[in-house]
A and B are shown apart, each in its own frame.
Chain A
Amino acid sequence: MKVLMFGWEFPPHISGGLGTACYGLTKGLSQIGNVNVLFVVPKAYGDEDHSGISLMGANNVPINIKELYFPKSDKSINYIEVGSNLIPYVGEEEYLNLSEKKITDSNNPLKIKDGKFNFSGTYNNDLFDEIYKYSLVAKVIAKNNSFDIIHAHDWLTFPAGIAAKRISGKPLVIHVHATEFDRSGGKVNPRVFNIEKEGMKMADHIIAVSNLTRNIIIKKYGINPDKVSTVYNAVEPLNKTAKTKLKKGVSEKIVTFLGRITMQKGPEYFLEAASMVLKKMNGVRFVMAGSGDMMNAMVKRAAELKIADKIHFTGFLKGDEVTDMLHMSDVLVMPSVSEPFGIVPLEAMQSNVPVIISYQSGVSEVVKYALKVNFWNTTEMADAIYGLLNYPSIWRLIKREGKEEVDNLLWENSARNVREIYLKVLKKEQDNLPVKNKL
């Protein structure tokens, strides 16, 4: 079975959960056999090697065909990088900010250097234009390659998936890692919503990363429940050779928030809980690791709460720094308001850090050895933090059992579930063909 997959980001440039999930799933699929993936990713070229790039389509889109090798399984897949400024997670507004910045900031890695990039030249700051052009490229790729099924990850690639379906007539599976309702916190952008809805309507099957997301798809997008399945994410085993570079410089315990500082992640609830804990005990510090549009507001709020000396803002952390941060932490809190899945708690559990997560996260459907609270219930959150820091047995138990639990969440299992869905979709396709075409 050959799968044409429109995904996001491959190592070494992974900036967040979506790329990690795509990579993990692709790797998992390559390990279970019978599935070949041709992976297509948008990529804004900055400092990379351009030698392998070929141009494609009416827009002179640079295309780079590469091979990715998975060391452990001794397998590799082909993947195609398509020159594009699409980056995951951004909404229209945020995208505008980013692209405006690009004009003034020449060091921004998103900047396109050599003008080959046709649509960057006549750049009109319109994300939707970019998405449309990406779908044109997808059409060309779909025409020139053979495959049995199409798999598209999140709304930015839905038009590409649909285009590929139209030209090839192959079934389309879309994978929803987040919806506009999660990203926007209620202020839904109708254009984004429409693209999502169109993708869901056109899809032969929809994969949601949690029941939480599945319910949103059914209720808010009006999709037939039979068409939506939940496949939970997993987590890549820890690279054992990775060593901590930084040492914890303080003797106090550290409670960490790790993620984008945006409304979706509920950073303000973390601060409120922190201030309650600090009123009652010494010997603890709080860290807010990440960046985002609410960061300044949070710094201000910390000052208002008079806890600025005990709360530290690190800014955006890269891969190794994330590992270091986790190693220094005694407790990780993820107070997300709306989190379709949430991979960070799993990474923390791998690093032996007990976690407190909100019920409003998909990951809370998967793990048992974690403390769970409603994101708005800051007293309960504070109580959970205090309990973990002050009563050693619960901290030890959650740390040990949590590690064991997360080590058994394998991408191979998720990939098997995805393969089941492929087979179901293909069988249905087969059944629906007119009799004369079956043979």
Chain B
Amino acid sequence: MKRLPAASGLAATAFLLAAPLFLDRGTLNDLWSLSLGVILASAWNLLGGFAGQVSLGYSAFLGIGAYTTVLLSLRGVPPFLTLPLGALLAALFSVAIGLPAFRLRGPYFTIATIGVGEAVRVSAASVAFTGGSSGLRMPSGSFDFTANFYAMAALAIFSVVLAAAVRASAFGTALAAIRQDIDAAESLGVNATRYKLLAHALSAAVVALAGSLYAINFQYIAPGSVFDFRLSLSIVLMPVVGGVGTIAGPVLGALVFSTLQIKLLAIPALRDAYLLLYGGLLILVILYEPGGLVGLLRRLTTRRQATAPEQEVPDAG
């Protein structure tokens, strides 16, 4: 049971490394989208899944990464060198909004994050240096699909490994305690605010890295694309449908989501129908299997699970 994740991780790494050698550009694009989904879903899951703090404002971090990259590239900085700064800015921003927002609990926190996300989008559309609502274009000559593909694939693998490492650590234990009973966690010495801020910053940084790669690949960004509320919604839907708080769930959710989106995008009349479909899927998950696809799979293999429990004791750290 323990070797399966490691083996599938190695297989995925080998496949992604070799993919550009034998796959056509269209399929590679789909794989690029899948990688993006895996990154966003796994990163969101650090705070939303492990710590139970459901944020609907994650497009802000993607946008901060994207805008940092385009604005610096336009001033002559090589695009890939802008990634760390975008991640740092997103992490700092996550702390700035986390300090007040984490004083709120449950749905109140979620509502506050919707407000933050919208405020960032409106701000980006209103000020001059971001190009306002018409957006910004990357400097010419900055496009390199193969490099971008490898970077996105590597980041996807990194974000899954990061999630597994966090969950197995004492930090992950603190997040689980916060999710299950924040007051009991505090009464045993857990500094809940600090660990929520840490999880928020870590996931914001990873999402910003993906945002930078997104900007470089599409060569054009606008508040309506990178700060879109529907994007924030998709970032939540993927891990929830896949299985919130698990390692495999966000990956499965991203796989379902990107497949649906790709199939539906091919039909012009249904361009936005993926959200409708996903909303329906979400209702089914909440009603019948709150554990998502991972929960469903677990239920189907209950007998095997009884002898070899999946949940390991996160002692080491």
Q: Do A and B bind each other?
A: no
Interface residues of B (CB under 8 A from A): none
